[in-house]
């Protein structure tokens, strides 16, 4: 993953016509392009001046929505649903499978910066719970084997192979 530059960030904002109404979309794209799933303070400052949005409002957005982070995370953020329907379908067991496969605990990031494990609330896939979300993809009907495969693909940076493992 290439390092995010000022030109990249300016281009992202230009893709949205530097429209302040598109702030969330802009911040999501900056986060996705960061390679570490976060919005660095310097890009928040830049967005503030280019979009003409107060920095405080940008941080309101970054701290209100759980999908954003202002500190570096793994290239792949694996979000394990902890809402009640999934909780009753072996969510704790699934957490252990991910922790074992990735070699880290919930809330941690692997030393190589590839994977972070986090909890999330319902991702709308209760019928195939326990469910996890990785980027834009939701995975359900998890088994230990499937978890190992997901983690392996993330560790090897094979994002393009993740969709084929989706159940919905």
Give the footprint of ligand FES on this chain (CB under 6 A): 81, 83, 85-86, 122-126, 129, 131
Helix, strand, coil percentages (3-state) for the chain, rounded to 5, are 50, 10, 40
C-beta of 5 vs 167, nearer to ligand FES:
167
CB of 126 to ligand FES, least distance (A): 3
C-beta of 104 vs 126, nearer to ligand FES:
126
Nearest to 80 by CA among 144, 25, 20, 139: 139
Query: Per-residue b/e over 15-53, b at no fewer than 16 CB within 10 Å?
Result: eeeeeeebbeebbbbbbebbebbbbbeebbebbbebbeb
Residue 159's φ and ψ, nearest 5 degrees, are -60, -35
Nearest to 167 by CA among 124, 125, 136: 125
C-beta of 34 vs 89, nearer to ligand FES:
89
C-beta of 72 vs 85, nearer to ligand FES:
85
C-beta of 50 vs 126, nearer to ligand FES:
126
CB of 122 to ligand FES, least distance (A): 3
For residue 118, give the 3-state DSSP assignment. Answer: strand
CB of 119 to ligand FES, least distance (A): 11
CB of 91 to ligand FES, least distance (A): 8
CB of 120 to ligand FES, least distance (A): 8
Residues ≥6 apart with Cβ < 8 Å to 7 = none
């Amino acid at each position: 993953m290439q390092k995010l530059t000022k030109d990249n960030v300016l281009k992202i904002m230009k893709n949205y016509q530097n429209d302040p109404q598109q702030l969330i979309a802009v911040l999501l794209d900056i986060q996705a392009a960061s390679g570490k799933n976060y919005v660095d303070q310097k890009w928040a400052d830049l967005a503030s001046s280019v979009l003409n949005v107060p920095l405080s409002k940008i941080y309101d957005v970054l701290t209100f929505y759980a999908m954003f982070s202002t500190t570096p995370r793994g290239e792949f953020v694996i979000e394990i649903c902890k809402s009640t329907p999934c909780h009753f379908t072996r969510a704790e067991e699934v957490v252990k499978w991910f922790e074992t496969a990735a070699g880290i605990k919930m809330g941690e990031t692997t030393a190589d910066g590839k994977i972070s494990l986090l909890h999330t609330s319902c991702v709308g896939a209760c019928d195939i719970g326990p469910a996890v979300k990785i980027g834009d993809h939701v995975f359900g009907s998890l088994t230990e084997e499937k978890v190992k495969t997901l983690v392996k693909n993330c560790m090897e940076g094979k994002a393009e192979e993740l969709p084929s493992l989706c159940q919905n």
